[in-house]
Chain A
Amino acid sequence: MIRPMLGALALMLSSQASAETVAIVDARLMTMAAAGEVERGTVLIRDGRIVAAGAGVAVPTGARVIDGRGGVVTPGFIQADSTLGAVEVSQVPPSADRATHSAGISAGFDISRGLNPDSILLPVSRLAGITHAVTTPLYDDRRGRELQFSGQAAVIDLAQQPDMVTRPRVAMVLEMGEGGAARAGGARGAAIVQLKATLADVRHFARNRAAYDRGGGRPQPLARIDLEALVPVVEGRMPVIVKVDRASDIVEMLTLAREEKLKIILDGAAEGWRVAPQIAAAGVPVIVDPIANLPRSFSELGATEENAARLNAAGVTLILKTGSGVAHRARELRYGAGNAVAWGLPHAAAIAAITINPARIFGVSNRIGSLESGKEADLVLWNGDPLEPLSRPEAVFVKGMQMPLTARPLDLRDRYMPAR
């Protein structure tokens, strides 16, 4: 009853906002598409969609023109491994829906349900050029490390509209390595064997649903919601984000993915550079925090700020992130990407790793991730190099709508800043 109403409201707002023609002119375009970088070009937006992006695009009469001289247009940034939309104040649990510690639901936890489009974190992140996030369940280990999976991630937009889920259930989330070992009682060997057993259970369940419902068949340790959620995983339709850092753990997971025919995305991969050729050969994408250069655990002794550059040089498809489960500090994504460039990653590869790469890997590149005709107007006009802290966005479009450059912290600033 409520959902259709909200849907109708969203439709009304978005159609209101986007029924016009907008031209961003004279800007450098980082299209992340076949056109590559266009030194001086135009992005033409009609009714919320990109109709042209490149040099020599004619601006129709009546179009609203945004002067992009000296600026840069990029696709909107996508924050991977985020909890945007699922948290307001980290240490106020009722304001957060990032994780469950219920033993009754693990893989089944669907973070796309119950998100908060009114979150004040969304406009704050937009001011850093972020228009979408891969909102990813965390583990809640308050009662010990009980759960095998933390749940299913979703791609969301930051337009602050009720229909904020771009694509639900884009990936299952699994921690292996040290964390996985702890969840399996303290040893990696137990975690890997247990995971294989779980996958076998899921396959058995998928073949014998009727018997399961009759209470027959072999007993299943997992709840039905978890088994059901894992069926797309064993069928290779849903990728698994595997959080793992040590080189040997990465190799174990590549092997397991091959054995079990799983589609995996490595997350963290602090020592990924040490096994970069194997990762590249397996065609497995990697989510990397470019500034994670410290040996924070015995699984990250090889951590280096050159990880992103080395993985890229080996031909691995990269997604860059900042922190883990990031929400408030999501706005540092572009600084992290800039640091990756400082440590050897080509600039265009860094931009791809926060736009088109995550869009492709999480199955939303038909809508966003590049400046191409037919895609949603989901882009940012910057007054300089988008990876420089001293640059700022001048226009942000999400889902075809131009967003106000406001946020609660700016309201606070204006309340207290002395008149000059």
Chain B
Amino acid sequence: MIRPALSLSIAVALAGCAATRPPPARTPAATATVAAPAEPVRAIDANPFPSTYRAPVVGKVALVGGNVLTATGAEIADGTVLMDGGRIVAVGANLPVPEGYQRVDARGKWVTPGVIDAHSHLGAWSQPESADALNDVNEMTDPNTAQAWVEHSIWPQDPGLDAARQAGVTTLMVLPGSANLFGGRSVTLKNVPATTMQGMKFPGAPYGLKIACGENPKRVYAAKGRSPATRMGNVAGYRKAWIDAQDYARRWDKWEKGGKVGDPPRRDLQLETLAGVLKGEILVQNHCYRADEMANMIDIAREFGFRIRTFHHANEAYKIAPMLVKEDICVATWASWWGYKMEVFDAIEENAPLIHAAGGCAIIHSDDPLVIQRLNQEAAAALSSAWRAGLKIPKSEAIKWFTANSARALGIADNVGTLEPGKNADVVLWSADPFSIYARADKVWIDGGIVFDRSDPSYRPHSDFTLGQVGGAR
């Protein structure tokens, strides 16, 4: 398949989203197009760092007798989950297991979709974190670094990825840090052992743009004696960038619609990313704590004609729940984090449940290499607070907070996030109710291939860093 020449579009990256289908081969076809006399133009490669992930060749597996949370709202006692060819093929109570399936006894255990973290820095800020050399998460040199792609910071040997896999995390979105107004592009990874970022890159997942509100950008740049030093400076910075992006997109549109005559406009990586947002191809992932600032960001999005997919951290989302539901913006937050700075002073444990109860898209995220290992426990803390508040949210709904809803925020809900026929077979077999503190992931599958089995020591750990060291021998 030839990528469309001369387009800012990342349509190729967006189209299909079939994780099990090999991504378009990286062919020299685009170069050939340039040489063709009929098209005297230079192609823009919309997917210059393509995924090389290939779903494993796998047999048929039946998880039998478990308590299944499908993340579609169902809880199935004595449930069976059938996986074939890397896909879920059937989910139900007491299903007959057809011939040829390897049976996995799930009696007394729980089965859920793979855990999806909507906010991680694994690989970009790796362990040992005491080594500054492994911190590549904040390009703290300019308030707008939309030209930076965090995938180029990913170190697949981060031991944190192993720890997360052993905790059931099958997919994660890695974001640049929040020092800048525009931090750069996010990348969505499959949590498979790999030696390259491309080997983990989720085929077809859309890019995100990290935007940060509030204290962090203004603190960082005030210290450097430059704008933004205030929240109004933050907003001025966003709006200037979007004005530039509109202008850039217009110039390209004009050139493309004008028959591509003459030299195309000069490419600008920073504006290319922002223009991708304006076209709806790149999803806005917005770090923003306070309710009033989220409202400002919604107005900015309206002013320039783009959408915000997710507010991250968003500890005051509960104050504007109806607005966020109406705008169809997901809220990715914690239960327990609060108070470390002014903009999280009003955080409450019930934040995600109150968004859920209002009919919104609530997500429990990590932003942390330890929390990512217990998103189920963090969700349990949120659920507990919901029950204390009298909100009758069942576990079959709360499971969505770290599976289905995260998939939606990342733009990969057609592929992962639920246990439904046709979805990728990303599955966790838990030793107990995942809302219990004692539950551990016993087995983890990605695209039907087992990536972790607690009973088999060969599954841990993958990282070259821990090899031959004290940590590798634990």
* Shortest Cβ distance from B387 into A: residue: A390
Interface-side segment among B188-196, B250-258, B345-353: B345-353
**Which of A88, A302, A387, A417 interacts with B389 by CB under 8 Å?**
A417
B380 within 8 A of A: yes
Task: List which B144-163 residues lie within 8 A (CB) of chain A.
Answer: 159-160, 163
A409 touches B437 (CB 8 A): no
B375 within 8 A of A: no
B388 within 8 A of A: yes
Tell me the complex Cα distance, A391–B389, Å. Answer: 13
A89 touches B341 (CB 8 A): yes
* Shortest Cβ distance from A91 into B: residue: B341
Hey, what's the 0/1 contact readout for B349-390 against A, CB within 8 Å counting as 1? 110001001100000000001100110010011011001111
A92 touches B470 (CB 8 A): no
* Shortest Cβ distance from A328 into B: residue: B339
A57 within 8 A of B: no
Query: In which size bucket is the chain A interface?
Result: 35 or more
Tell me the complex Cα distance, A410–B437, Å. Answer: 24
The minimal Cβ–Cβ distance linking B92 to chain A, given in whole angstroms, is 27
Chain B at the A interface: SS class? loop
Interface-side segment among B66-74, B122-130, B225-233: B122-130
Chain A residues whose C-beta falls within 8 Å of the C-beta of B131 in the assembled complex: 297-298
B466 touches A409 (CB 8 A): no
* Shortest Cβ distance from A274 into B: residue: B470
B27 within 8 A of A: no
A158 within 8 A of B: no
B384 touches A390 (CB 8 A): yes
A342 touches B438 (CB 8 A): yes
Task: List which B325-355 residues lie within 8 A (CB) of chain A.
Answer: 336-342, 345-350, 354
B458 within 8 A of A: no
B336 touches A92 (CB 8 A): no
The minimal Cβ–Cβ distance linking A412 to chain B, given in whole angstroms, is 5
Chain B residues whose C-beta falls within 8 Å of the C-beta of A178 in the assembled complex: 130
Of the listed residues B336, B437, B439, the one surrounded by the most CB atoms of chain A closer than 10 A to its CB is B437
B469 within 8 A of A: yes
Chain A residues whose C-beta falls within 8 Å of the C-beta of B319 in the assembled complex: 416
A387 touches B437 (CB 8 A): yes
Interface-side segment among A3-11, A29-37, A330-338: A330-338
B336 touches A329 (CB 8 A): yes
**Which of B349, B387, B439 interacts with A342 by CB under 8 Å?**
B439
* Shortest Cβ distance from A385 into B: residue: B437
A301 touches B471 (CB 8 A): yes
Tell me the complex Cα distance, A205–B215, Å. Answer: 48
Number of interface residues, chain B, beta carbon within 8 A: 53
**Which of B130, B341, B347 interacts with A90 by CB under 8 Å?**
B341
Chain A residues whose C-beta falls within 8 Å of the C-beta of B342 in the assembled complex: 89, 91-92
Of the listed residues A178, A292, A298, the one surrounded by the most CB atoms of chain B closer than 10 A to its CB is A298
* Shortest Cβ distance from A420 into B: residue: B390
Chain B residues whose C-beta falls within 8 Å of the C-beta of A331 in the assembled complex: 336
Beyond A300-B128, A331-B336, A416-B319, whether A342 also contacts B381 by CB under 8 A is: no
Task: List which A383-420 residues lie within 8 A (CB) of chain B.
Answer: 387-392, 409-410, 412-413, 416-418, 420
B129 touches A296 (CB 8 A): yes
B435 touches A389 (CB 8 A): yes
Tell me the complex Cα distance, A297–B436, Å. Answer: 30
**Which of B128, B321, B370, B474 interacts with A297 by CB under 8 Å?**
B128
A189 within 8 A of B: no
Chain A at the B interface: SS class? loop
Chain B residues whose C-beta falls within 8 Å of the C-beta of A160 in the assembled complex: none
Task: List which A290-317 residues lie within 8 A (CB) of chain B.
Answer: 291-298, 300-304, 306
Hey, what's the 0/1 contact readout for B171-210 against A, CB within 8 Å counting as 1? 0000000000000000000000000000000000000000
Tell me the complex Cα distance, A304–B471, Å. Answer: 8
A328 touches B340 (CB 8 A): yes
B160 touches A294 (CB 8 A): yes
B340 touches A89 (CB 8 A): yes
The minimal Cβ–Cβ distance linking A118 to chain B, given in whole angstroms, is 15
B221 within 8 A of A: no
A302 touches B474 (CB 8 A): yes
B318 within 8 A of A: yes
B128 touches A291 (CB 8 A): no
A78 within 8 A of B: no
**Which of B373, B383, B389, B465 interacts with A390 by CB under 8 Å?**
B383
Inter-chain contact count A-B, CB under 8 Å? 134
A89 touches B383 (CB 8 A): no
B340 touches A295 (CB 8 A): no
Task: List which B211-256 residues lie within 8 A (CB) of chain A.
Answer: 215
* Shortest Cβ distance from A297 into B: residue: B130
Chain B residues whose C-beta falls within 8 Å of the C-beta of A121 in the assembled complex: 339
B127 touches A341 (CB 8 A): no
B384 touches A328 (CB 8 A): no
A97 within 8 A of B: no
A90 touches B128 (CB 8 A): no
A150 within 8 A of B: no
Chain B residues whose C-beta falls within 8 Å of the C-beta of A90 in the assembled complex: 339-341
A339 within 8 A of B: yes
Chain A residues whose C-beta falls within 8 Å of the C-beta of B160 in the assembled complex: 294
**Which of B338, B340, B387 interacts with A409 by CB under 8 Å?**
B338
A81 within 8 A of B: no
Tell me the complex Cα distance, A388–B440, Å. Answer: 14
Beyond A328-B338, A388-B437, whether A296 also contacts B127 by CB under 8 A is: yes
**Which of B338, B339, B380, B466 interacts with A389 by CB under 8 Å?**
B380
Chain A residues whose C-beta falls within 8 Å of the C-beta of B389 in the assembled complex: 413, 417
A296 touches B437 (CB 8 A): no
Tell me the complex Cα distance, A399–B345, Å. Answer: 28
A249 within 8 A of B: no
Tell me the complex Cα distance, A62–B383, Å. Answer: 38
* Shortest Cβ distance from A289 into B: residue: B370
Of the listed residues B127, B129, B338, B470, the one surrounded by the most CB atoms of chain A closer than 10 A to its CB is B470
A294 touches B384 (CB 8 A): no
Tell me the complex Cα distance, A342–B431, Å. Answer: 10
B469 touches A301 (CB 8 A): yes
Chain A residues whose C-beta falls within 8 Å of the C-beta of B347 in the assembled complex: 409
Chain B residues whose C-beta falls within 8 Å of the C-beta of A271 in the assembled complex: 470
Chain B residues whose C-beta falls within 8 Å of the C-beta of A335 in the assembled complex: 374, 377, 381, 437
* Shortest Cβ distance from A88 into B: residue: B339
Chain B residues whose C-beta falls within 8 Å of the C-beta of A420 in the assembled complex: 390
The minimal Cβ–Cβ distance linking B385 to chain A, given in whole angstroms, is 8
The minimal Cβ–Cβ distance linking A387 to chain B, given in whole angstroms, is 6
**Which of A91, A294, A412 interacts with B159 by CB under 8 Å?**
A294
Chain A residues whose C-beta falls within 8 Å of the C-beta of B474 in the assembled complex: 302, 304, 306
Beyond A329-B337, A389-B384, A392-B384, whether A295 also contacts B436 by CB under 8 A is: no
Tell me the complex Cα distance, A295–B473, Å. Answer: 13
A342 touches B440 (CB 8 A): yes
The minimal Cβ–Cβ distance linking B19 to chain A, given in whole angstroms, is 28
The 9 closest A-B pairs by CB, nearest first: A338-B437, A297-B130, A328-B339, A389-B380, A91-B341, A302-B470, A90-B340, A301-B471, A301-B470
Beyond contacts A293-B163, A329-B337: 5 other A-B pairs, Cβ-Cβ < 8 A, are A294-B369, A301-B466, A389-B381, A389-B437, A418-B358
- Residues of B whose CB lies within 8 Å of any CB of A are 127-131, 159-160, 163, 215, 318-319, 321, 336-342, 345-350, 354, 357-358, 369-370, 373-374, 377, 380-381, 383-384, 387-390, 435-440, 465-466, 469-471, 474
- Cross-chain pairs A/B with CB under 8 angstroms, 22 sampled: A89-B341, A90-B340, A90-B341, A91-B215, A178-B130, A293-B373, A294-B160, A294-B370, A296-B129, A296-B130, A297-B130, A298-B131, A301-B128, A329-B336, A341-B438, A342-B437, A342-B438, A390-B435, A409-B338, A410-B348, A416-B318, A416-B354
- Residues of A whose CB lies within 8 Å of any CB of B are 88-92, 121, 178, 247, 271, 274, 291-298, 300-304, 306, 327-329, 331-332, 335, 338-339, 341-342, 387-392, 409-410, 412-413, 416-418, 420
